[in-house]
Amino acid sequence: MSSSDTTTSAPTSHPPVAERRPVPREHHGQAFTDDYDWLRDKESPEVIAHLEAENAYTAAVTEDQEPLRTAIFGEIKAHTVETDLSVPARKDDWWYFSRTEEGKQYGVQCRVRARDTGDAVADWTPPVIEPGVAVEDEQVILDGNAEAEGKPFFSLGGLAVSRDGNLMAYAVDHAGDERFTLRVRDLRTGEDLADEIPNVSYGVVFDRTGTRVFYTVPDESWRPYRILAHTLGTPNEQDQLLFQEDDPGMWSGFGLSADRTELIVSIGNSELAETRALDLPEGAGEPLGGLRVLVDRSLGLLHGVDPVTLDGRRHYVIVHDKDLATGADAPNNMVSLAARETVTDPRSWRTVVEHSATTKVDGAAVTATHLALSVRRQTTPRTLVMPLAGLGTDQQGRPVEPDFGEELYSCELAGAPYESPYLRLSYTSWVTPSQVLDWEMGAGEAGDLHLRRQVEVPGYDPEQYLVERWWAPAESTDRRVTIPLTVIRRKDTEWDGSNPCVVYGYGSYEVSMDPGLSVARLSLLDRGVVYVVAHVRGGGELGRTWYDHGKKLHKKNTFTDFVDATRFVAQSGWVDPDRIACMGGSAGGLLMGAVLNLAPELYRACVAQVPFVDALTSILDPDLPLSALEWEEWGNPITDPEVYRYMAEYTPYENVRAVDYPAVAAVTSLNDTRVLYVEPAKWVQLLRRTVTSDQSTPLAAGGSPIVLKTEMDGGHGGASGRYRAWEDRAWDYAFLLTALGASQRV
């Protein structure tokens, strides 16, 4: 084969050059030619050789960053208690917890027996267990290190224990492609049963008897669409199909009711949902009935349903986005209560929580005595609770929430065991290590908080850091719109306009960038970096409307918001406008690509992690993983000429300009099923041949190299294992810090 037929694998000091093999595309009268589509054949030795050549080039170009990467990895390690454990969580007759051990990549799932004394508070107070010290009768139920031994990748897609505590169902991925194999282990012997089901999706639960497991199967585009029941000891071919969703734009999933008497099946996308229920028989061998529709998709509601028993009668708590009694929209959701007998008639629903323009209700959970609501107010997630007694009547209690001393924090529901007097909360902030709290609801109107654990961060002093909320006007679209920014820095950072800055963003799928302490981020802050999170439209920080104004034909707002936020930060006096870098992953990687096309002059460097930079090509192919489901986020360019035109105007791969760009590191994984490796592989080739910036001078000397780093054994989240994750983050940060001239600690 001649050299013109393959990737040019010149010395590693020169970037690989992929041959141009034009593939024309025409939709709605618009034509585009893709020169690098051939790189999508991951089974081709030629493609693998190209990716390996790219990795070799990247290693050569960034070789001088190795000491900095080693230093950052060491800092992450030093700030981490490597031999540790989680707070035990009770389920039935056992306390379950996970251990980590120094030097080991994966957690170890363990349990100890619980006790029942008749004192609910005492019986649901977790036992004190020391890190690294085994307790009497402790049982290891799954050792991730043993499961991963000899495998290139390890991830769990679900784990469930039968009600009698004897069996454990678990789903394992050894490739990173999110295709799991379901197995069942007898915890009395430690041996796996003969039952094995390949190619399942996330999630697995047992029925009430422990003789059946429920699971989902994806279609060819990796959309979970079939829900099945497997009876242990029987051939997979005899598994009972409970539900199949044939609309390619709808997901399917399931969960158990809090009291585990019903299987709740959820079908939907980001704009519409349907909920069905299955009564679970009490006796082994009893046949399963059929699914009952609770809330039909024809109502046009985006909603969630939680079963609850009130005064001996079955009801359903429904969180939904429209007031069907008045026809008014409720974009931030309202909460209603419906009796089982009349749940299909929305006219019978009773309002529990009215719609609020300032508080978004994201979901609900129930215990035997209380209703918990996950809400978002002033950009941050919080947890409210109210008693079930009187719910939906004039005697209904008012919602209460814990009081914390910080302005920007996350307080999220981490567990709501049905019989427990406690709700388990997870609390953190941008500078506060994670805390596990048990909220005792029987103690006074607001309850009592019991601190069960605060993550220890050795060598960390939160008093050295400061968090501020800034608001940047959306200059590019509407100055009346202000973009919330979270700004994190060391307190000793001076306001002299000389500081380096990293701006991070995401802005899609109504996903919010919530407060949380990142140990890795300390390596940036301790080198004088001002770290900014731009909460742009398309995320969920300011409610549903904030999301709606950053999707479909409003998607460009996401990109211009990020640019406006960067300009606002550059003019703040805190940072050097010539020392700003940007970073984002997945849909945030699309954001990075779009921003570089809009305003490349604002940034010195960019790290784009698993970037969705060829969105239009992917969404035009409904056979690609999850593409049809993306239509609710971006629109359907196959059938809608306006959507096609709009996406063609912003999709990064089709809008690269012949101007100076910053240094770019595109990071991807060969087995990623969500954002295919081919997108950044093609993007990097087009960037190199198009942009006018200096790509040959080293990054540390002011050059702007463009590199592609492919994890050959990883998935959407990169390589598996905590130490490899630390290495990945150290690589990303070293690239940015080198570009910003900020490799030294302050």
Residue 586 among the catalytic residues? yes
Q: Using alpha carbons only, what angle is made at residue 213 by residues 212 and 218, rounded to the nearest 5 degrees? A: 140
Tell me the torsion sign for CA atoms 541, 543, 549, 552.
positive
Cβ burial 199-236 (10 Å sphere, 16+ → b, else e): ebbbbbbbbbbbbbbbbbbbbebbbbbbbbbbbbeeee
Residue from 34, 195, 438, 672 carrying the catalytic annotation: 672
Query: Contact, 16 vs 54, CB < 8 A?
Result: yes
DSSP 384-417: EEEESTTTTSTTPPPPB----S-SSEEEEEEE--
How far apart CA 531 and CA 499 sit, in angstroms, is 10
Residue from 586, 627, 704, 720 carrying the catalytic annotation: 586
Residue 303 among the catalytic residues? no
Tell me the torsion sign for CA atoms 681, 550, 633, 27.
negative
How far apart CA 422 and CA 439 sit, in angstroms, is 5
Name the amino acid, one letter, at 211: T
Residue 143 among the catalytic residues? no
Single out the residue of 220, 228, 255 nearest to residue 244, CA to CA. Answer: 228
Name the amino acid, one letter, at 720: S
Q: What angle, rounded to 10 degrees, do the helices at 678-690 and 45-61 form?
A: 60
Tokens of 685: 């080739």
Residue from 79, 230, 535, 716 carrying the catalytic annotation: 716
Query: Contact, 322 vs 329, CB < 8 A?
Result: yes
Order of strands across the sheet that contains 328-339: 303-310, 313-323, 328-339, 350-353
For every residue of 215-244, which 3-state class applies, written as one string? EEEECCCCCEEEEEEEECCCCHHHCEEEEE
Q: 């590191």: which residue's tokens?
A: 665
How far apart CA 693 and CA 663 sit, in angstroms, is 9
How far apart CA 272 and CA 300 sit, in angstroms, is 6
Catalytic residues: 586, 672, 716
